[in-house]
Amino acid sequence: MALLSGVLIVGSSSLIGTGAKDDPEEALLAVLQKVRREAVERNQPIEVQIYETGTVLTWGEGAEQTFTLPTSETVQAKLLAAESLGAVLIGGQAEEKLLEHFKVYPDGTCDLFRLDVRRNGARRVFAIDPMTCAPLPGTDIQ
C-alpha cells in the first residue's frame, strides 16, 4: 500500500503543475497535494490553516510554509466542516461551521472538510476526499 501511495502521489504532481499557476482555485488545490506529499515524505502529520481573511494558507510546525492566493482578483478561502456535520439551522437560514485547521496524515489521508473559495463574488465549495485530499467529482457548488 505504501508503494502504491508513493506512485500515486508522485504521478499526481505532474498533473497538478499544469495550469495551476494561472487559476487561484487550481493553485490552492495544488498546494493541498503538495502538503499531502510532504506529510508522506516526512512521515508525520501536518496541520493546515487559512489566515489573513482567507488569503494565506500555512502549514507545518510553527506555520513554517505559506502560500498566498494571487491578488490579481478578489479571492478568499475558508475551511468548512463536512456537510453532514457543519450546517446549523439558525432563524430559518443554514449557517456553516468554520474550521480552524485540518490535518494531513503520513498515509496520505486528511481530515474530512470542505473548501469554500470565493472569487470575485462567485462561490465554489469543494468537498475534499479524505483518502486523496483532492476535490470529489461533482461536489463543486457555484
DSSP β-ladder status, 113-119 and 122-128:
antiparallel
- pLDDT tens for the chain, 142 residues long, are 665 555 555 555 444 444 445 677 888 889 999 999 999 999 999 999 887 677 888 888 766 788 887 766 688 888 888 865 445 555 555 567 888 889 999 999 999 999 888 888 888 888 999 999 999 887 665 5
Among 58, 33, 34, which Cα is nearest to 48's?
A: 58
Element (H, E) at 28: helix 24-42
d(CA 28, CA 14): 16
DSSP state of 84: H
Domains contained in the chain, CATH given: 2-128 (3.55.40)
The reply to whether the predicted model has a pTM over 0.85 is no
DSSP state of 13: H
